[in-house]
């Protein structure tokens, strides 16, 4: 008998992240991972620097100050918040705790590529459900839900589509799912969607709805790896049982706490994003490149076909600009472009204009 991984593990196609380098170039403009172009909040950097001399101490295991800060800012019960190494880890806790061999985990056609990985890792079967014109289709999900369905992962607003499911449709999904199935509202981009609570009200209304959020996008802390989940008390209690006691470092906890309290930074970044997003969307459309209205910090540019997207990617790369190919998400003709600073948006549009100009 030889060593053998658990069922499902070898079915995992390893995650492929956005590129960050162009060979032979030091001056790249990275617009491939939906990072905040304005960097981390200075308030968070200062708080983390102040904490450095205490690194010989173990961090807190209950994460209380960060949970309380999140609770205060978002008007949520801190006792029903779990902190993870990015929202990735919270999404992982959910699959690990609620899905196993013989169970099904639903995700949508263009949803985040981590979901099937997590399903396989738990020994469960991932099930992909079609979207309609790049928007999550509630009826298609409900049609596919069966007795084996344990988890439904939903990216809302979507990545890489940037579209958003209207709140009445979200509510319809939450109210129609069987109580044996957990609905996970992945709100990695919720802040960018004006007036959207990420699904917090639905979490309060149902025993089987969870919301996940991140510090990696609008808070400019992708490198710190902090995310969180908000859910019913019983679900959070379950997730905490599988969380490692010291999953979060002292620096991560302190940096995230300072960031979530820095509402001025968030407001400035959101305003700049809204402006840049409108300009990028408008500019692409002027060039005859299709894109939906985005509720995120990126725009999915849809070219005529895969060859046109290849050509545009090469042109951008030659100008030192890295964007994200999204073939694996069902868009061979697409390029996902993060909304950068005003000069970044200008650079993208000017480069593409040269290419498509007669």
Strand, coil or helix: 59 = coil
Q: How far is the CB of 53 from ligand PLP (least distance, A)?
A: 28
Strand, helix or coil at 238?
helix
3-state secondary structure of 42: helix
Q: In angstroms, give the least distance from the CB of 112 to ligand PLP.
A: 4
User: Which residue's Cβ lies closest to ligand PLP?
Assistant: 86
Rounded to an integer, what distance in angstroms lies between the CA atom of residue 192 and that of residue 34?
A: 12
Alpha carbon distances (Å) from 112 to 7, 205, 326: 22, 25, 11
What is the token pair recorded at 238?
A: 């379950």
Least Cβ distance, residue 218 to ligand PLP (angstroms): 11
For 129-191, the DSSP string reads E--BTTB--HHHHHHH--TTEEEEEEESS-TTT-----HHHHHHHHHHS-TTSEEEEE-TTGG
Q: Counting contacts by CB under 6 A, is residue 214 touching ligand PLP?
A: yes
**Nearest to residue 155, comparing CAs of 201, 109, 99?**
109
Contact with ligand PLP (CB under 6 A): which of 155, 161, 252, 351?
155
Q: What is the C-alpha separation between 91 and 84, in angstroms, rounded?
A: 9
Q: Is 265 in the site for ligand PLP (CB under 6 A)?
A: no
Q: Binding to ligand PLP by residue 112, rule CB under 6 A?
A: yes
Among 208, 216, 273, 338, binds ligand PLP (CB under 6 A): 216
Q: Tokens 């990695």 appear where?
A: 188
Write the DSSP symbol of residue 15: P
Q: Which of the ranges 86-94, 100-108, 118-126, 298-306 carries the binding residues for ligand PLP, by CB under 6 A?
A: 86-94
- The distance of closest approach from Cβ of residue 10 to ligand PLP in the complex, given in angstroms and rounded to an integer, is 24
x-or-dash string of contact with ligand PLP, 20-39, rule CB under 6 A:
--------------x-----
Q: How many residues bind ligand PLP (CB under 6 A)?
A: 13
Q: How far is the CB of 107 from ligand PLP (least distance, A)?
A: 11
Is 87 a residue that touches ligand PLP (CB under 6 A)? yes
Q: Residue numbers of the site for ligand PLP (CB under 6 A)?
A: 34, 86-88, 112, 155, 159, 186, 188, 214, 216, 222, 227
């Amino acid at each position: 008998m030889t060593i053998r991984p658990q069922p499902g593990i070898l079915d995992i196609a390893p995650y492929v992240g956005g590129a960050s380098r162009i060979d032979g170039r030091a001056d790249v403009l990275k617009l491939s991972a939906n990072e905040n172009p304005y960097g981390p909040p200075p308030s968070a950097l200062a708080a983390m620097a102040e904490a450095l001399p205490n690194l010989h101490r173990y961090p807190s295991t209950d994460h209380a100050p960060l949970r309380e800060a999140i609770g205060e800012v978002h008007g949520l019960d801190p006792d029903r918040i779990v902190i993870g190494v990015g929202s990735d880890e919270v999404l992982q806790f959910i699959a690990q705790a609620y899905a196993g061999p013989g169970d099904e985990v639903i995700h949508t056609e263009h949803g985040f590529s981590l979901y099937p990985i997590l399903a396989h890792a738990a020994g469960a079967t991932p099930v992909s459900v079609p979207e309609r014109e790049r928007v999550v289709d509630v009826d298609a999900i409900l049609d596919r839900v069966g007795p084996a369905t344990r988890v439904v992962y939903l990216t809302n607003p979507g990545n890489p589509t940037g579209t958003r499911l209207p709140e009445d449709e979200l509510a319809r999904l939450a109210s129609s799912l069987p109580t044996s199935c957990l609905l996970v509202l992945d709100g990695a981009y919720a802040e960018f969607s004006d007036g959207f609570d990420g699904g917090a009200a639905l979490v309060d209304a149902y025993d089987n709805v969870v919301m996940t959020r991140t510090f990696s996008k609008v808070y400019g802390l992708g490198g710190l790896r902090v995310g969180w989940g908000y859910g019913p008390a019983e679900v959070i209690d379950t997730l905490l049982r599988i969380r490692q006691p010291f999953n979060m470092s002292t620096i991560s906890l302190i940096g995230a706490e300072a960031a979530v309290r820095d509402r001025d930074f968030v407001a400035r970044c959101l305003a700049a994003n809204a402006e840049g997003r409108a300009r990028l969307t408008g500019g692409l459309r002027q060039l005859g490149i299709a894109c939906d209205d985005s509720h995120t910090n990126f725009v999915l540019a849809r070219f005529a076909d895969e060859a046109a997207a290849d050509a545009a990617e090469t042109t951008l790369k030659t100008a030192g600009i890295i964007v994200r190919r999204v073939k694996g998400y069902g868009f061979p003709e697409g390029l996902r472009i993060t909304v950068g600073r005003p000069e970044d948006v200008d650079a993208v549009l000017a480069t593409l204009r040269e290419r498509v100009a007669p």
